[in-house]
Amino acid sequence: MARANLETVKSYLLDLQDRLCAGLAGEDGGAGFREESWQREAGGGGRSRVIEHGRVFEKGGVNFSHVYGDQLPPSATAARPQLAGRGFHAVGVSWVLHPENPHVPTSHGNVRFFLAEKEGEAPVWWFGGGFDLTPYYPVREDVVHWHRVARDACAPFGAEVYPRFKAWCDEYFYLKHRDETRGVGGLFFDDFNEWDFDTSFAFQRAVGDAFLDAYLPIVRRRRDTPWSERERDFQLYRRGRYVEFNLVWDRGTLFGLQSGGRTESILMSMPPLARWEYGWTPEPGSAEEVLYEEYLRPRDWLREEEQDS
């Protein structure tokens, strides 16, 4: 059985960051990514890349980080308390895209690898990651395409993988205080080492490599859709949910802050503008109501599509 190889994973993630930025900047056709490298005093660092005020993306980021230290932060040992006190390496790429046009969905993804070590004991490793889609004016065609690409990425690893990690995504990206999902889901997995290292790493690569195939066709279909100030206001209102999730529930945000990571990079996932309104509800029969009634709950999109076809 192959041993966990941190440098191999790190090399892949650096290349993935390059490919994501090239694909996204090419689709935007206006702004490019600017890069900042940073160092973490306690060990490690990263390179943050941000795109702003583009033709498509009002704000986006694709960040690489590799941090290490003598003791895992509490957020990393929540599911594995027996690992508290171990030294660690954490390496990953995370990305989020906030388009200006309300008809182009926000999207987020990340892939990461942890290695926990203690003298005299075998290293413990695990992978995590996934991607999810947050539309404001959803189109079923787009949602089905998104999940079809996710399913196809999982298929070589077993028929049960997509349903399992799709359900995990629905459960994870759920705002308990709002009783609604953040969007229409995708894939999510964490603390994952059920397979051998080579298979697990191959799965992480399949997920990371699938993102542009899942997202860019949706961007192309919706980027030129006309939009009104009403739709923009609704987009900003729903972006508030994005902020709420990241600050209240997201383990990645907590890990970054608890591990002493670079705050600017950790919070780059926040939208440039968002708003809150007291007691807002959608008008009956409106496009906004469709989002609430039909999309902000878990659904088996691919099975429904097969049944309807």
* pLDDT of the chain, 309 residues: tens digit per residue: 457 899 999 999 999 999 999 999 999 999 999 999 999 888 899 999 999 999 999 999 999 999 998 877 666 656 666 777 778 899 999 999 999 999 999 999 999 999 988 777 788 899 999 999 999 999 999 999 999 999 999 999 999 999 999 999 999 999 999 999 999 999 999 999 999 999 999 999 999 999 999 999 999 999 999 999 999 999 999 999 999 998 988 877 877 787 777 788 788 889 999 999 999 999 999 999 999 999 999 999 999 999 987
Does 290 show up as a binding residue in the annotation?
Answer: no
Active-site annotation holds for 53: no
39 within 8 A of 261, measured Cβ to Cβ = no
Per-residue DSSP letters for 245-261?
Answer: HHHHT-HHHHHHHHTT-
Does 261 show up as a binding residue in the annotation?
Answer: yes
Q: How confident is the model at residue 1, as a pLDDT? A: 42
Q: Which helix (H) or strand (E) holds 301?
A: helix 301-308
Q: What is the dihedral of CA 287, 293, 299, 305, to 10 degrees?
A: -50
Domains defined for the chain, CATH in brackets? 1-308 (3.40.1500.10)
Does 103 show up as a binding residue in the annotation?
Answer: no
> What's the rounded Cα separation, in Å, for the pair 224 and 58?
14
Structure tokens at 161: 């993988």
User: For residue 246, which amino acid is it?
Assistant: N
Does 177 show up as a binding residue in the annotation?
Answer: yes
Q: How confident is the model at residue 75, as a pLDDT? A: 62
Does 260 show up as a binding residue in the annotation?
Answer: yes
